[in-house]
Amino acid sequence: MGFGITTDRTIAALSVAATLLVGWITLNATVDMAAWGGIPPKSLEANYIGPTDPLSDLSPRDAAVEVRVLSDGKPVRKLRVVQATLENTGATPILPADMVEPLSIRAEKNWKIVGIANQPLLKETAPQLKWTRVDDGVFKSEPALINPGDMVWATVYLSWTGEGEPPPTTDQAVSWLARIANLRGIANDKNTLEESIRRSGPIEVHLWGWGVPFTLASFAIYCWLTVLLLARFGLMRPDSRAGLAAVPLTSLLNIAAAEAGATYVFGINPIITVPTSHWANLPPIFANSAMIVGLLIMAKGRPSLERADRIE
């Protein structure tokens, strides 16, 4: 009798916790929607990574390697590289006719732009701008169509013209400029990649495209098989204290293995090839497989749940 009361209280407590969790998620989603509002008709968001030193790995410590970079026959001092992206985060395309002043990139004080190249990884899905030098500090592009979701990715090569060493990589070296009809300005979202890495912690989950239904289907299969095997041991009964712990623990292992499997099948990023972390993805796959195989071996000869009920 006491065990039944304890089980009922546990189920009631879990139900209350689940209700509060769903309510908290709903409230956060509502606040987030109210804060950000709808998607604006026109919106451009800029992001900058760098400046970085592309020749840092070829330092004078290796006497056999000597690298010289020339621009117009003159040596380039302290070459640096900035990855500058500009994404149309609005709901409507930006037409060439909308550009009162076309997109341009301007270097900050004591920086000289050596050259600009479009990112080849996006040549099939993003506009490839044609760049023209205005002066040492400004490059402008020809007007181009930028559809919603399009990302312009420019690799900017810079030379430091100031005294001493260039500032640290946290200082912005270039800026996007443009005058576009019905657009107040370009939103500056600096160091998005660095901030996401800092906030994400040691574990990240990446699901995209067909990886999402693959994960859900794998989880359903793993969970179905695990529940059938647990039933052979009588752990699916309402009065089973061990079942209350076994079901959520095995479900966590099932979903972790399903997501890790999707990572190996579909990769991490659809645009950039990123190596898969084996130490983070192999353990849940091996543990889930070992659990299912172990339950299969131990369940041999045990009656099914229906047969067990008839025997009793």
Contacts of 161 (CB under 8 A, 6+ apart): 77, 110, 111, 112
Domain boundary among 171, 199, 227: 199
Q: Hey, how many other C-beta atoms are within 10 angstroms of the C-beta on 207?
A: 16
Q: Which residue has the higher pLDDT, 248 or 303?
A: 248
Instruction: Determine the average pLDDT of the residues in 131-154.
Output: 87
Co-location of 149 and 66 in the same domain: yes
Indicate the number of domains in the chain.
3
H helices of the chain, in order, are 2-36, 192-200, 211-232, 241-266, 278-298, 305-311
Task: In whole angstroms, give the CA distance from residue 252 to residue 312.
Answer: 32
Co-location of 13 and 109 in the same domain: no
Per-residue b/e over 254-286, b at no fewer than 16 CB within 10 Å? bbbbbbbbbbeebbbeeeeeeeeeeeebeebbe
Q: Hey, how many other C-beta atoms are within 10 angstroms of the C-beta on 81?
A: 18
Task: In whole angstroms, give the CA distance from residue 263 to residue 259.
Answer: 6
Instruction: Write the DSSP symbol of residue 94.
Output: B
Q: Are strands 44-52 and 187-188 parallel, antiparallel or unpaired?
A: parallel
DSSP 179-248: EETT----EE-TTHHHHHHHHH-S------TTHHHHHHHHHHHHHHHHHHHHHHTTTTSTT-HHHHHHHH
Rg value, the chain, Cα: 29
Co-location of 222 and 286 in the same domain: yes
Summarize pLDDT for 101-117 with one digit per residue, the tens.
888 988 888 888 888 88
Co-location of 67 and 109 in the same domain: yes
Task: In whole angstroms, give the CA distance from residue 192 to residue 87.
Answer: 13
The per-residue pLDDT for 164 is 72
Co-location of 264 and 173 in the same domain: no
The per-residue pLDDT for 88 is 85
Task: In whole angstroms, give the CA distance from residue 22 to residue 30.
Answer: 12
Co-location of 127 and 255 in the same domain: no
Summarize pLDDT for 255-289 with one digit per residue, the tens.
888 888 888 888 877 666 667 778 888 888 898 88
Co-location of 143 and 175 in the same domain: yes
Going by C-alpha positions, the residue among 258, 279, 162 that lies closest to residue 213 is: 258
Co-location of 30 and 49 in the same domain: no
CB 153 within 8 A of CB 85: yes
The per-residue pLDDT for 3 is 45
Co-location of 303 and 187 in the same domain: no
The per-residue pLDDT for 38 is 55
CB 77 within 8 A of CB 161: yes
Which CATH number does the domain housing residue 146 bear? 2.60.40.290
Summarize pLDDT for 226-255 with one digit per residue, the tens.
888 888 777 777 666 776 778 888 888 898
Co-location of 125 and 248 in the same domain: no
Q: Hey, how many other C-beta atoms are within 10 angstroms of the C-beta on 34?
A: 8
Q: Which residues pair with 160 in a beta bridge?
A: 111
Co-location of 158 and 223 in the same domain: no
| Banded model confidence at residue 195, pLDDT cuts 50, 70, 90 | low
Task: In whole angstroms, give the CA distance from residue 126 to residue 8.
Answer: 57
Q: Domain of 239?
A: 202-311
The per-residue pLDDT for 169 is 60
Co-location of 60 and 119 in the same domain: yes
Domain boundary among 145, 170, 199: 199
The per-residue pLDDT for 8 is 57
Instruction: Determine the average pLDDT of the residues in 138-154.
Output: 87
Domain boundary among 161, 183, 199: 199
